[in-house]
A = this chain, B = another copy of it.
Amino acid sequence: MTTATELLQRLGGRPVGVVGLGLIGGSLGLDLRQLGVAVHGWAHRPATAERALARGLVDQASVHPQVLQDCPLVLLALPLDQLVSPSLQLLQGLPPEALVMDMGSVKRPVLLALQDRLPRFVACHPMAGTASAGVEAGVAGLFAGRPWVLTPTGQEDPEDLALARSLGEALEAVVLECDAASHDRAVALISHMPVLVSAALLSTATAAESSALAQALASSGFADTTRIGGGNPQLGTLMARCNREGVLRALEDYQRQLEQLRCLVSSDNWEGLEQHLRSAQAARPGFL
């Protein structure tokens, strides 16, 4: 049985609901429709619903939650703040018998906000993205080969977890499971804290006396190192806010490592510095 067939069977031939039709929601819609699953989208604005239909992201779209009523599975592809502080309108609009999954990039606060308010809930983080946002951003194949992280609490029905896995597999993602706290610490390390590390580099180079010359001389190395620090400010802030503990812990660890490097330079310990850089070089392939 293919992964698509298994998903279709688990859905009983019924549509999947998607709330939010931006990069993640739109990409989910495109891939699911390609697999033969009908997609019903609940959008905030009429123009988004219209455009999602025109782009073929969904089979049906509406600003009214009734569009979700036949869906056995509803995916919340909303900005993190709307997951962490869900509106009453959102909570009341979700069909009570459906399995609800969120697609947020921080898991503990989302579980705290949603787990007890929804009868059936599985927390999920598809680690995929592009720099785009909005109803034009969705692309086919966004999740293929990328981690699809489920963070079950142990309270889920095994059939619900199986459906959540089945969805990731049908999208050709790499399905992983871990607890929410470990997930949040790990993404703080490799995603949320590095945004601050990278942004501080831009602030330093901008504030420096030799900034004009630095701008003329900067090359691809500086461009790469500052890419994530020069990204969407709202998104970076939202990550830090929703993963505050993980970010602070990772940042303090980072500051210690950097201070060690500074001490190696200031004490002219060139062998020690080369050894540290050698370890960093050796570690990097593990993260690629």
Contact = CB atoms under 8 A, between A and B. Distances in A.
Nearest to A281: B230
A200 interface: yes
Contacts of A241: 268, 270, 273
Given A237-B273, A258-B197, A277-B233, A227 B225 contact: yes
A266 B250 contact: no
Contact of A230 (B217, B268, B284): B284
Interface in A153-197: 176, 178, 182-183, 185-187, 189-191, 194-197
A197 B225 contact: yes
A84 interface: no
Contact of A257 (B207, B227, B247, B252): B207
A179 to B, nearest CB: 10
B199 A280 contact: yes
A-B complex: 10 closest residue pairs judged by Cβ atoms = A230-B284, A233-B277, A199-B280, A218-B287, A202-B280, A186-B213, A200-B257, A200-B258, A237-B274, A233-B278
Nearest to A174: B216
A134 to B, nearest CB: 17
B236 A262 contact: no
B203 A250 contact: no
Contacts of A259: 255
A95 B207 CA distance: 44
A222 B250 contact: no
Nearest to A198: B225
